[in-house]
Amino acid sequence: MSISFDPRNLLASMVGEENGLTQAELEASKAAALTALQGFRQQWEAGKYGFPDLPGNKKLIQEIEATAKKLAGSYDTVCVIGIGGSALGCWAVDCAMRGPHPVQGEHSSKKPRLVILDNVDPDFLNHALESMSPKKTLVVVIAKSGSTAETMGGFLVVREWLTNGIGKKAPSRIIAVTSEGRGDLKVLATKEGYTTFHIPENVGGRFSVLSAVGLVPAALIGVNIKKLCRGAAEMTEAAWSDNLDTNIALSSALHHWLIWTRKKKSIQVAFPYSNFLWGTAFWFRQLWAESLGKAKDRTGAIVHVGQTPVAALGTTDQHSQVQLYMEGPNDKVYSFWVVEKARKQVKIPKAKLGLDGFDYLGGQTMGKLLDAERRATEAALASSGRPNCTFTLERVDEEHLGAFFQMMEFETAFMGELLNIDAFDQEGVELGKKFTYALMGRSGWDEFKERFAAYEKKRG
Ligand code: PA5
């Protein structure tokens, strides 16, 4: 497994002192990075945070594999109902391993597909249900809280659809992934006898891709979850090292922290040059936004900190976003994601048309063109004083994907320490959830019904 981080275009020597880091700045901040590492390690040792342990959970991996083996051949679709951290991880895995959706190809009981219901848009739900057969669908409902309105509502619809289709067998075709000791989903799963996997309390949604949340759907669509976890375990070992040359999670956290806070780059563009990593860019967007966008620091002081993550796809978005990136406000840092080896290269035919716009490309590969486009964009941005860095994955396979997930989770945790905020809570989404409960008539939420009424009155 090989993942590297190249920060050279974050340096002042490349993008100027106003936008880039000097060696002196980096040297002076190394101690802060090591303090962040120790701070996070202490909390992990105290059992507060559990994502670093996930790749080592061999018992869980075996149990999930056994379940997948038992059910293999009996379905052609895995329908996941979940949202946020309970959906984005399995989408990222699906997109990376089976391909982005328009080019996934036919699905069958040998090559089951994933349908992720992570929204309650009625048109989306109806179309999804029409595309699936209840006899050939396995349902996986995922909610750590066991009560998220979108997931509970979506599940009720799918549960009825399944029961109408296959009657009493429905519970045997449902898998629940939820908390062990709380939530109404757990109560229902126990009552109706669903196969159930649990999410550890110390693993939050957006850090849960390597728990049953991501591993169950992954195993059911044929992804090798052992390899996924093997890559993540290798990265975990590297992430506990105090050697900044080998610990890319810590090194990248340090570079990004300085660029963000000292050079005022309040937006980070995750820029994969790989359609297969597009789902991972959306997974990263949630991880970075929800973990690092906070009102208060750990002392309780109001800080309103956050770096807005944006996903852009290379080369496609060169023709959509790069004009802004080159000439708009210099408030962004760009993280290019590169895949060194394509699964299969595409050679451009030598057409010899006598037309220069075609002929110079003949005989070269699409991989070379992709690489040239990305290097050209990096150089153009650097020449305009726009800091950028590059993560290179040798290939997109289970091991690299698992390692990349784990690298970004550690980077996020270290960033939380550097900013002195709690990267693991999400108070900011709670108020909206409470208003929704009140608007949908859930009992016990009268206070929020009144607050919402006051808001509407104020609006006039
Ligand atoms: O990262 C998080 O904690 C959130 O994005 C949750 O994953 C999301 O709100 C869904 O929560 P639940 O799994 O309880 O339905």
Active site residue 433: yes
> Is the predicted pLDDT of residue 295 greater than 90, yes or no?
yes
Identify the residue whose C-alpha is closest to ligand 1 atom 15: 143
**How many whole angstroms separate alpha carbon 203 and alpha carbon 55?**
12
Orientation angle between helical segments 398-419 and 23-45, nearest 10 degrees? 100
Contacts of 2 (CB under 8 A, 6+ apart): 392, 393, 394, 400
Distance from residue 262's CA to the centre of ligand 1 (Å): 32
pLDDT digits 0-9 by tens, 369-420: 999 999 999 999 999 999 999 999 999 999 999 999 999 999 999 999 999 9
pLDDT at 101: 81
Among 51, 104, 48, 115, residue whose Cα is nearest residue 77: 115
What average pLDDT score do residues 355-371 get?
A: 97
Identify the residue whose C-alpha is closest to ligand 1 atom 12: 143
**How many whole angstroms separate alpha carbon 2 and alpha carbon 23?**
26
pLDDT at 103: 87
Task: Give the atom of ligand 1 at the shortest distance from the alpha carbon of 85.
Answer: 7
Q: What percent of the chain has pLDDT over 70?
A: 100
Active site residue 319: yes
**Residue whose structure tokens are 């709380």:** 182
What average pLDDT score do residues 56-83 get?
A: 98
Among 57, 407, 87, residue whose Cα is nearest residue 200: 57
Distance from residue 338's CA to the centre of ligand 1 (Å): 29
pLDDT at 369: 98
102 with 138: CB under 8 angstroms? no
Distance from residue 148's CA to the centre of ligand 1 (Å): 8
> Is the predicted pLDDT of residue 430 greater than 90, yes or no?
no
Handedness of CA 52, 57, 61, 67 (dihedral sign): negative
pLDDT digits 0-9 by tens, 222-273: 999 999 999 999 999 999 999 999 999 999 999 999 999 999 999 999 999 9
What average pLDDT score do residues 69-92 get?
A: 98
Q: What percent of the chain has pLDDT over 90?
A: 97
pLDDT at 346: 97
pLDDT at 8: 98
Q: Is 374 in the pocket of ligand 1 (CB under 6 A)?
A: no
- Catalytic option among 144, 226, 265, 290: 290
